[in-house]
Copies of this chain bind each other. A is one copy, B any other.
Amino acid sequence: MYRSHTCGELRKENIGEEVILSGWVQKLRNKGFMMWVDLRDRYGITQLIFDEERTSKEIMEQASQLGREYVVQIKGKVIERESKNPQLPTGDIEILVSEYEVLNASLTPPFTIENDTDGGEELRMKYRYLDIRRNPVKESLMFRHKVGMQVRNYLSNQGFIEIETPYLIKSTPEGARDFVVPSRMNEGQFYALPQSPQTFKQLLMVGGMDKYFQIVKCFRDEDLRADRQPEFTQIDCEMAFVEQEDILNTFEGLTKHLLKEIRGFEIDNFPRMTYAEAMRKYGNDKPDIRFGMEFTELNDLAKGKGFPIFDDQELVVGIAVPGAGAYTRKEIDNLVAWVKRPQIGANGLIWVKYNEDGSLKSSVDKFYSQEDLLSWAGLSGAKAGDLILVMSGETNKTRTQLSALRMHLATELGLRDPNVFAPLWVLDFPLLEWDEETNRYHAMHHPFTSPKPEDIKLLETNPGAVRANAYDLVLNGNEIGGGSIRIHDKATQAKMFDYLGFTPEEAKEQFGFLMNAFEFGAPPHGGVAFGFDRLVAILDGKETIRDYIAFPKNNNGRDVMIDAPAKLDEAQLRELHLEVKL
């Protein structure tokens, strides 16, 4: 037996017991005649004591050779600690060691195994097995497990069935790039790894499994932007015989359950907003509504007063920043510089200070009177002490820029409390989006999303205005889930493929099995998918997903710990009938 208790378990009540513990040496303090060792395992830390008077000389000598991260097993008696440590659950006791054995030695770790480590990102990824020993990473992984269990039990209790869909599927050209897998048995042919189980879950609906879910890995061979992974985990769900409202209610229920069970955070009905409203009010389809600073469109008030920068532009739009009226000139200049950076790309930023004395001072005093500025303040809800910031330009671009500024200011002002949760449904997404590169419309969600029946007539005349039965769940400014009601009849699906530029042959080759399935009684259905990695991080109040993934890859898609990907040897390539051409 390696242990009678864990290192997080012993309390005052155990005093006098003989125990066996195993774990890692977290810390040693040696006073010559006395020595203390903090012994650590997954469950906590227990202090061991060796002292000349009560410990054999042999053990004292051996133990003094211990190093950090050695694995040891000890036997000893639980005694009351002289100087208690209230920070530690085991802080009332310590173990007077009578026997001990080194189970394994350790080299000095390349970084400190402490909550705040001195190791850089790449080093910690290379030695991920050591990084996992640190509390923040360990706890992140345990938190992830807890969320996963809650999701599964909640959905299962609601009648959902978890069904595993295949990983070796067929490559489709839609959207991001597939990872492919050459088949040895089927020479010259390839499987693809799924970007999502989308078509399979729809086939399950055709198959009558009317409530499906799966926590499942998905794969995208994309150039990795920050905090993206080539393999990621999705909570994938689909329901049949449902309307959008049923789906929203079901997954609002799941999210409420998680917020309550995991974070003790209770919330009533989630607010809802159309895509158009989100863009108008926040310049963003995933607005962070933990704070205000909604957009105010100023076209009517600001145009036609001779200020050419506004007069010539499509949109003039501003936000009132609460309490920022006290910003110094330098602080405001910094904001102007911030929006002019290439990442944001704005031409400039107009500001209006609403002074505490009720007067207004702006960067455009030449063109606007106090009354003009006061009317801006009125419309934007600015009060004395606030700062109004205004941008102008092409509508979409300007909204995006002002949205970035809004988020930047919220961060600066400390308005983005990670332990406050503000969920939001964004509804009525456009069915199509214009792709500058290929010069045509693409499906915004995916080609299986149904248009709103009342908008179908617009497909020919104004495709960009067609709304879809598509929805996102936004939490604290992150899209944590999204889905749609699907097309379930063959004719509409064929029309959609046609519309998206597939020839009938291409549509048949790539999605023939789905079109076929729709011939045999497909029920109305729809679903949703949550980004599990992101959901877990946000629930835990964190910004990055990496600590919630046991073995993440770096931004080049490499696992630096195992050094993958790697070259194959020639024999392996030959067996796969492949040749590498660089």
Contact A562 B170 (CB under 8 A): yes
Contact A162 B184 (CB under 8 A): no
Contact A206 B551 (CB under 8 A): no
Name A182-238 residues within 8 Å CB distance of B: 182-193, 199-200, 203-204, 206-211, 217, 219, 221, 223-224, 230-231, 233
Q: Which residues from chain B contact A42 at a C-beta distance below 8 Å?
A: 208-211
One of B182, B221, B524 near A180 (C-beta < 8 A):
B182
Chain A interface SS verdict (over half): loop
Q: A104-B489, A190-B567 are in contact. Are A129 and B170 (CB under 8 A)?
A: no
Contact B553 A171 (CB under 8 A): no
Provide the bound-state CA to CA distance between A89 and B524, in Å.
Answer: 26
Contact A231 B513 (CB under 8 A): no
Q: Which residues from chain B contact A171 at a C-beta distance below 8 Å?
A: 566, 568, 572
Name A273-329 residues within 8 Å CB distance of B: none
Q: How far is the CB of A520 from chain B (nearest CB, A)?
A: 5
Q: How far is the CB of A345 from chain B (nearest CB, A)?
A: 27
Q: Residue A133 at the B interface, CB < 8 A? A: yes
Q: Which residues from chain B contact A167 at a C-beta distance below 8 Å?
A: 167, 193, 217, 219, 231
Q: A210-B41, A563-B170, A577-B581 are in contact. Are A524 and B103 (CB under 8 A)?
A: yes
Name A132-163 residues within 8 Å CB distance of B: 132-133, 138, 141-142, 144-145, 148-149, 152-153, 156, 161-163
Q: Residue A422 at the B interface, CB < 8 A? A: no
Q: Residue A243 at the B interface, CB < 8 A? A: yes
Name A495-533 residues within 8 Å CB distance of B: 512-513, 516-524
Binds B, one of A105-113, A261-269, A379-387, A399-407: A105-113
Contact A24 B166 (CB under 8 A): no
Contact B3 A241 (CB under 8 A): yes
Contact A523 B103 (CB under 8 A): yes
Contact A107 B223 (CB under 8 A): no
One of B186, B199, B513 near A565 (C-beta < 8 A):
B186
Q: Residue A486 at the B interface, CB < 8 A? A: no
Contact B550 A164 (CB under 8 A): yes
Q: Which residues from chain B contact A132 at a C-beta distance below 8 Å?
A: 204, 207-209
Please, what's the 1-or-0 string for A331-348, where 1 marks a CB less than 8 Å from any CB in chain B?
000000000000000000
Contact B207 A565 (CB under 8 A): no
Contact A550 B165 (CB under 8 A): yes
One of B22, B105, B566 near A523 (C-beta < 8 A):
B22
Provide the bound-state CA to CA distance between A3 and B145, in Å.
Answer: 35
Interface centre among A73, A106, A179, A579 (most CB of B within 10 A): A179
Name A24-77 residues within 8 Å CB distance of B: 24, 40-42, 69-71, 73
Q: Which residues from chain B contact A163 at a C-beta distance below 8 Å?
A: 141, 144-145, 550
Provide the bound-state CA to CA distance between A148 and B576, in Å.
Answer: 35
Contact A106 B563 (CB under 8 A): no
Contact B104 A168 (CB under 8 A): no
Output the nearest chain B residue to A221 by Cβ-Cβ distance.
B184
Contact A572 B180 (CB under 8 A): yes
Name A residues whose Cβ lies closer than 8 Å to a Cβ of B: 1-3, 22, 24, 40-42, 69-71, 73, 103-107, 109, 127-133, 138, 141-142, 144-145, 148-149, 152-153, 156, 161-171, 177, 179-193, 199-200, 203-204, 206-211, 217, 219, 221, 223-224, 230-231, 233, 241-243, 246, 488-489, 512-513, 516-524, 549-551, 553, 556-559, 561-568, 572, 575-582
User: Would you list the 5 A-B pairs with minimal beta carbon distance, nearest first?
Assistant: A132-B207, A106-B521, A170-B564, A189-B565, A2-B241
Extra contacts, 18 of them, besides A22-B241, A130-B207, A190-B566 (Cβ < 8 A), are A1-B243, A1-B246, A22-B523, A24-B523, A103-B524, A104-B523, A129-B517, A130-B206, A164-B233, A166-B550, A168-B219, A185-B556, A185-B557, A186-B558, A189-B565, A190-B568, A513-B562, A579-B580
